[in-house]
Amino acid sequence: MAENQYTEDNIRSLDWKEHIRLRPGMYIGKLGDGSAADDGIYILVKEVIDNCIDEFVMGNGRRIELSVAEGKVTVRDYGRGIPLGKVVDVVSKMNTGGKYDSKAFKKSVGLNGVGTKAVNALSSHFMVYSVRDGEKKQATFVRGELVEETKVTKTTEENGTYVEFIPDETIFKKYSFRTPFLNKMLWNYCYLNRDLIIKFNREKFQSKFGLKDLLEDNMDGDPLYPIIHLEGEDIEVAFTHGKTYGEDYYSFVNGQHTTQGGTHQSAFRESMAKVIRDFYGKNYEASDIRQSIVAAVAVKVMEPVFESQTKTKLGSQEIEPDGKSMRAFINDFLKERLDNFLHRNPKIAETLEKKIKQSEKERKELSGIRKIARDRAKKANLHNKKLRDCRVHLTDLKHELREQTTLFITEGDSASGSITKSRNVNTQAVFSLRGKPLNCYGLTKKVVYENEEFNLVQAALNIEDDMDDLRYNNIVVATDADVDGMHIRMLLLTFFLQFFPDLIKRNHVYILQTPLFRVRNKKKTIYCYSEEERRAAVNELGRNPEITRFKGLGEISPDEFKHFIGDDIRLEPVILSKEASIDSILSYYMGKNTPERQEFIIDNLKVEEDLVTEDTETSNIEKAS
């Protein structure tokens, strides 16, 4: 048997762009097609804008202009501009940048000098120019390779930096930018940088009151009491309580939205509960204090440590060079500022305690039901096998593959059977519904435990107490594209919006798109998701191709289904817009049949052979959401 050879020829050195293109996930997280807020194309935009924000923070440039059209992104700031002699280096040489100088960028997010290099390497076209004091320098790259560099020329343009890029379609396949995700990113920049002006596709983004504006703009309904807004050196906090279930947090470090929280968010949750206990002199349960809270916390840290390159979770235990812990820093701040605020505002303090007592009462009333429901869920999972779990929860791969974990919620044995046989058993799980779920609009959380289907869904997701231990990063509703399937989809969305709105607010919920048609001849098969795609496929394949119309998920064989839930999966995110009110959405779509609602359904529901081919009530609630 020949031995494996290991010689000098086996040793290979990659240059900077080759390494980024070979291992993009190390630099921008998952690739994706733009259907999720943390897909790589948005990280590319963020990396460029982060540099503009750093200039603003340093007192240079108040405006940022962004445009996204036909896959091309352009960003222009009006800061100092990149030093002209380093325009090429800062976007093409690793470990090169101004942020290594702590005097220039004391509390910046991008400290490793990678950001724009990754954008450059992962773009089929990348162009940058800088303007400083009447002079301009420009460079153009293709997939990280310099193809043109101009000499310094005279110009009348304002100082600043301009970047344009087109994500490489060989890496980001069939991608598209979703405006709601970009809008949310830009608003967060403005909430954290008051008086910053961002212009995007004719819309102006600007915040006057920071995190207070964030909560006011994103809360569902009115707060129970005026937002408590506290500010100090390197920290800003805002919170109130609402009428929805659960806990809703927005946390930031040096302007970076830490969607997975981290040490600062944990410290806030603990410290807030402790200060409130001390203020009232009563040992309230932390869960009762935090039930229905809506809060935002932003801190600034010297050289923050994140748990990944995409910086979605803070790992820093210390906030200052002198070693003060994050927990002590936030606790000291709240102990002084929050305690003082509650003493000065007795009416708010009274309302807050009333809310805590109400949550305590509800928890005690549900305690017995919850225990019975948990036992029932364990038995159901053991004997009924409604949940076909993935291996990631049974191995040491949990942390590594967490972002890829997916739960498909489907209805019927045939549909769930096809997905189960086609899935990636490492990361994809299947939950099979039995018939249509209950319309839970207007009901209390008691129904979650008393209704078997809802109780088992909650147990499968592990979201009984909070979202911290959510077992699946992606929750995919997979129903037929007929009227019954759309109705089931609506009922599931109602369940999530009514009792677990954070799942949707944090972009965990999706709708699975499956093909309506299969068009094929002896040489090629094309799956079509719309009537337009079907016509295009017929034109492409020529005369008399075989056309199959899928009426349900169960009609798609497992061998075919694997194409639709694999690398080419099409997911439609369920998005709550800034203006959306959960209560108004649910009352309109799931409440009593008002004349307006009946008219809307008649105008928008188009059925052909019991198959929906146009916008339906469900697709419209997703748009409204």
Query: What is the per-residue pLDDT for 1?
Result: 46
CATH number of 16-205: 3.30.565.10
In this structure, the number of other CB atoms found within 10 A of the CB of residue 308 comes to 14
For residue 232, give the 3-state DSSP assignment. Answer: strand
Place of tokens 């799980």: 429
- What is residue 441's predicted lDDT score, i.e. its pLDDT? 84
State the first-to-last Cα distance of the chain, in angstroms, to the nearest integer: 63
The pLDDT assigned to 618 comes to: 39
Nearest to 221 by CA among 255, 258, 248: 248
Where do the DSSP E strands lie in 332-427? 387-388, 406-411
Q: Are the CB atoms for 92 and 117 separated by under 8 Å?
A: yes
The pLDDT of residue 481 is 74
Torsion over CA of 214, 218, 221 and 224, rounded to 10 degrees?
A: -40
H-assigned helices in 142-238: 179-192, 211-218
Domain ranges in the chain with CATH number 3.40.50.670: 384-478+500-514+550-578
Q: Name the architecture of domain 384-478+500-514+550-578.
A: 3-Layer(aba) Sandwich (3.40)
Place of tokens 């498909």: 408
- The answer to whether residues 486 and 505 touch, using CB atoms and an 8 Å cutoff, is no
Residue 100 is predicted with a pLDDT of 45
Where does CATH 3.30.565.10 sit in the chain?
A: 16-205
Rounded Cα–Cα distance for residues 314 and 625 (Å): 30
Q: What is the pLDDT of residue 612?
A: 36
Residue type, 397: L
DSSP conformation letters of 248-269 = EEEEEETTEE-TT-BHHHHHHH
Name the nearest CA neighbour of 481 among 616, 322, 281: 616
Place of tokens 């997010």: 109
In this prediction, residue 622 carries a pLDDT of 43
Contact 417, 408 (CB under 8 A): no
Here the tokens at position 240 are: 């109130």
CA 320, 324, 326, 331 torsion-angle sign: negative
DSSP 405: -
Which residue shows structure tokens 């677990």? 500
User: β-strands 474-478, 509-513: how paired?
Assistant: parallel
The answer to whether the beta carbons of residues 162 and 81 sit under 8 Å apart is no
Over residues 491-529, the pLDDT tens digits come to 898 899 888 888 888 889 999 988 889 999 988 999 888
Strand pairing report for 235-241 and 228-232: antiparallel
Burial state string for 284-296 with b = 16 or more CB within 10 A and e = fewer than 16: beeebbbbbbbbb
Is residue 354 helix, strand or coil? helix
Residue positions counted in the chain: 625
Measure the CA angle with vertex 394, ends 393 and 395; round to 5°.
100
Residue 232 to residue 227: CA distance in whole angstroms: 17
In the chain, what are the helix, strand and coil shares in percent, each to the nearest 5?
40, 20, 40
Kindly list the strands in the beta sheet with 517-520, ordered across the sheet, starting from the edge strand earlier in the chain: 525-528, 517-520, 546-549
Distance CA 219, CA 242 (A): 8
Mean pLDDT split into 10-residue runs, the chain, 625 residues: 55 69 82 86 93 88 93 94 91 65 53 74 95 95 93 94 95 90 94 94 93 91 93 93 86 85 89 95 93 92 70 69 78 94 96 94 82 71 71 61 86 81 90 86 84 87 80 90 82 89 87 89 89 92 89 81 84 78 70 62 45 36 42
CATH 3.30.230.10 in the chain, residue ranges: 211-361
Residue 82, CB-side half-sphere exposure with 13 Å CA sphere? 27
Residue 234 dihedral angles phi and psi, to the nearest 5°: 70, 15
SS (H, E, C) 444-483: CCHHHHHCHHHHHHHHHHCCCCCCCCCCCCEEEEECCCCH
CATH of domain 211-361: 3.30.230.10
Residue from 362, 569, 516 nearest 449 by CA = 362
> What is the reported pLDDT for 14?
64
